[in-house]
Structure 1
Amino acid sequence: MSWPVTLFDFTLLALRVCLSVAVTLHVLRTKQNTAACAGWIGVSWLMPFCGALLYLMFGINRVRRLARRLASDHRWRGRGLAYQAQHRMKGDFEPLARMISKLTERPLLGGNSVTTLHDGDTIYPRMLEDIASAQVSVLLCSYIFRADRIGNQFVEALATAQARGVAVRVLVDGIGAGYFSCGIEKSLRRRGIVCQRFMHSLQPWKMPFINLRNHRKILIIDGRIGFMGGLNIGEENLRRLRTKHPVADTHFRLEGPVVHQLTEAFARDWSFTCGEQLDGETYFPDLERQGDIPMRVVTSGPDNDLEKIEFSMLQAIALSRRHVRLMTPYFLPNERLVSELCLAALRGVTIDIIVPKRSNHRLIDYARDASLAPFLKAGCHVWMSSPPFNHAKLLVVDEAWSFVGSSNIDARSLRLNFEINLEIYSESVAQELNAFMERHRTRRLTHHALDSISAVRKVRNASVRLFSPYL
Structure 2
Amino acid sequence: MNHHYTVLDILLVLARYALALAVTIHVLRTKRDTAASTGWIGIAWLMPLTGAALYVMFGVNRVRRLARKLIGSHQWDGRGALVQHREQVDGQFAPLARMLGRLTERPLLGGNVIQCLHDGDNTYPVMLAAIDNARQSVLLCSYIFRADEVGNRFIEALANAQARGVRVHVLVDGIGSGYFHSGVASALRRRNIACHRFMHSLWPWRMPFINLRNHRKILVVDGRVGFMGGLNIGEENMLRLRTKVPVADTHFRIEGPIVHQLTEAFARDWSFTCQEELDGEIYFPQLDSVGDIPMRIVTSGPDNDLEKIEFAMLQGVALARRSVRLMTPYFLPDERLTSELCLAALRGVEIDIIVPGSSNHRLIDYARDANLAPFLDAGCRIWMAQPPFNHAKLLVVDEDWSFVGSSNIDVRSLRLNFEINMEVYDKDLARELIAFIDRHRHGRLTHHTLDSQSGMVKLRNAGVRLFMPYL
Asked if 1 retains the 8 angstrom alpha-carbon contact of 2:77 and 2:284, the reply is no
Counterpart position of 2:183: 183
Shift of 1:460: 0.5
Question: Cα–Cα, structure 1 residues 256 and 100, in superposed 2: closer, same or farther, change >3 Å?
Answer: same
> Which deviations, in whole Å up to 9, do the C-alpha atoms of 1:91-113 show, x marking residues without a partner?
11111111111111110000000
Find the residue that maps to 2:331 and give its secondary structure. coil
The residue type paired with residue 204 of structure 1 is P
Question: Cα–Cα, structure 1 residues 130 and 78, in superposed 2: closer, same or farther, change >3 Å?
Answer: closer
Q: How far apart, CA to CA, are the structure 2 residues paired with 1:114 and 1:381? A: 29
Counterpart position of 1:405: 405
Counterpart position of 1:282: 282
Asked if 2 retains the 8 angstrom alpha-carbon contact of 1:366 and 1:465, the reply is yes
Asked if 2 retains the 8 angstrom alpha-carbon contact of 1:395 and 1:403, the reply is yes
Counterpart position of 2:462: 462
Find the residue that maps to 1:72 and give its secondary structure. helix
Question: Cα–Cα, structure 1 residues 78 and 468, in superposed 2: closer, same or farther, change >3 Å?
Answer: farther
Asked if 1 retains the 8 angstrom alpha-carbon contact of 2:155 and 2:187, the reply is yes
Q: In the alignment, does 2:148 pair up with 1:152?
A: no
Counterpart position of 2:72: 72
Counterpart position of 2:138: 138
Q: How far apart, CA to CA, are the structure 1 residues paired with 2:234 and 2:289? A: 33
Counterpart position of 1:430: 430
* Unaligned stretches of 5+ residues in structure 1: none
> Which deviations, in whole Å up to 9, do the C-alpha atoms of 1:173-224 show, x marking residues without a partner?
1111111101100000111100011011111121221111110000000000
Counterpart position of 2:201: 201
Shift of 1:80: 5.2
Asked if 2 retains the 8 angstrom alpha-carbon contact of 1:80 and 1:285, the reply is no
> Which deviations, in whole Å up to 9, do the C-alpha atoms of 1:376-422 show, x marking residues without a partner?
00000000000000000000000000000000000100000000000
> Which deviations, in whole Å up to 9, do the C-alpha atoms of 1:111-154 show, x marking residues without a partner?
00000000000000110000000001000000000010100100
Following TM superposition, where does structure 1 have runs of at least 4 consecutive aligned residues deviating by more than 6 angstroms? 1-4
Counterpart position of 1:318: 318
Q: In the alignment, does 2:82 pair up with 1:82?
A: yes
Counterpart position of 1:217: 217
Counterpart position of 2:127: 127
Q: How far apart, CA to CA, are the structure 1 residues paired with 2:121 and 2:2? A: 76
Find the residue that maps to 1:93 and give its secondary structure. helix
The residue type paired with residue 386 of structure 2 is S
Counterpart position of 1:358: 358
Asked if 2 retains the 8 angstrom alpha-carbon contact of 1:135 and 1:166, the reply is yes
The residue type paired with residue 13 of structure 2 is L
The residue type paired with residue 248 of structure 2 is A
Shift of 1:72: 2.4
Q: In the alignment, does 2:17 pair up with 1:17?
A: yes
Q: How far apart, CA to CA, are the structure 1 residues paired with 2:139 and 2:327? A: 28
Asked if 2 retains the 8 angstrom alpha-carbon contact of 1:144 and 1:173, the reply is yes
Counterpart position of 2:390: 390
Q: How far apart, CA to CA, are the structure 2 residues paired with 1:124 and 1:50? A: 48
Q: How far apart, CA to CA, are the structure 2 residues paired with 1:374 and 1:72? A: 42
Q: How far apart, CA to CA, are the structure 1 residues paired with 2:10 and 2:432? A: 70
Shift of 1:82: 1.1
Find the residue that maps to 2:92 and give its secondary structure. coil
Counterpart position of 2:332: 332
Shift of 1:290: 1.1
Counterpart position of 1:306: 306
Q: How far apart, CA to CA, are the structure 1 residues paired with 2:411 and 2:86? A: 32
Q: How far apart, CA to CA, are the structure 2 residues paired with 1:330 and 1:208? A: 23
Find the residue that maps to 1:82 and give its secondary structure. helix
Q: How far apart, CA to CA, are the structure 2 residues paired with 1:245 and 1:4? A: 65
The residue type paired with residue 29 of structure 1 is R
The residue type paired with residue 228 of structure 2 is M
Q: How far apart, CA to CA, are the structure 2 residues paired with 1:81 and 1:369? A: 49
Asked if 2 retains the 8 angstrom alpha-carbon contact of 1:80 and 1:286, the reply is no
The residue type paired with residue 198 of structure 2 is F
Asked if 1 retains the 8 angstrom alpha-carbon contact of 2:138 and 2:168, the reply is yes
Q: How far apart, CA to CA, are the structure 2 residues paired with 1:182 and 1:94? A: 45
Counterpart position of 2:40: 40
Q: How far apart, CA to CA, are the structure 2 residues paired with 1:64 and 1:126? A: 36
Shift of 1:78: 6.3
The residue type paired with residue 158 of structure 1 is L
Find the residue that maps to 2:91 and give its secondary structure. coil
The residue type paired with residue 321 of structure 2 is R
Asked if 1 retains the 8 angstrom alpha-carbon contact of 2:78 and 2:285, the reply is no
Q: In the alignment, does 2:92 pair up with 1:92?
A: yes
Shift of 1:5: 4.9
Find the residue that maps to 1:52 and give its secondary structure. helix
The residue type paired with residue 236 of structure 2 is E
Q: How far apart, CA to CA, are the structure 2 residues paired with 1:2 and 1:240? A: 79
Asked if 2 retains the 8 angstrom alpha-carbon contact of 1:310 and 1:414, the reply is yes
Question: Cα–Cα, structure 1 residues 98 and 390, in superposed 2: closer, same or farther, change >3 Å?
Answer: same
Find the residue that maps to 1:92 and give its secondary structure. helix
> Which deviations, in whole Å up to 9, do the C-alpha atoms of 1:414-438 show, x marking residues without a partner?
0000000000000000000000000
Asked if 1 retains the 8 angstrom alpha-carbon contact of 2:324 and 2:351, the reply is yes
Q: TM-score, normalised by structure 2?
A: 0.99
Q: In the alignment, does 2:103 pair up with 1:103?
A: yes
* Unaligned stretches of 5+ residues in structure 2: none
Find the residue that maps to 2:409 and give its secondary structure. coil
Asked if 2 retains the 8 angstrom alpha-carbon contact of 1:162 and 1:193, the reply is yes
Asked if 2 retains the 8 angstrom alpha-carbon contact of 1:324 and 1:351, the reply is yes
Counterpart position of 2:113: 113
Q: In the alignment, does 2:380 pair up with 1:380?
A: yes
Q: How far apart, CA to CA, are the structure 2 residues paired with 1:161 and 1:15? A: 58
The residue type paired with residue 339 of structure 1 is S
Find the residue that maps to 1:329 and give its secondary structure. coil
Q: TM-score, normalised by structure 1?
A: 0.99
The residue type paired with residue 446 of structure 1 is T
The residue type paired with residue 413 of structure 1 is S
Question: Cα–Cα, structure 1 residues 274 and 2, in superposed 2: closer, same or farther, change >3 Å?
Answer: farther
Shift of 1:2: 8.9
Q: How far apart, CA to CA, are the structure 2 residues paired with 1:2 and 1:86? A: 79
Asked if 1 retains the 8 angstrom alpha-carbon contact of 2:131 and 2:138, the reply is yes
Shift of 1:8: 2.9
Q: How far apart, CA to CA, are the structure 2 residues paired with 1:36 and 1:154? A: 42
- Identity percentage over the alignment? 72
Q: How far apart, CA to CA, are the structure 1 residues paired with 2:73 and 2:81? A: 18
Shift of 1:75: 2.2
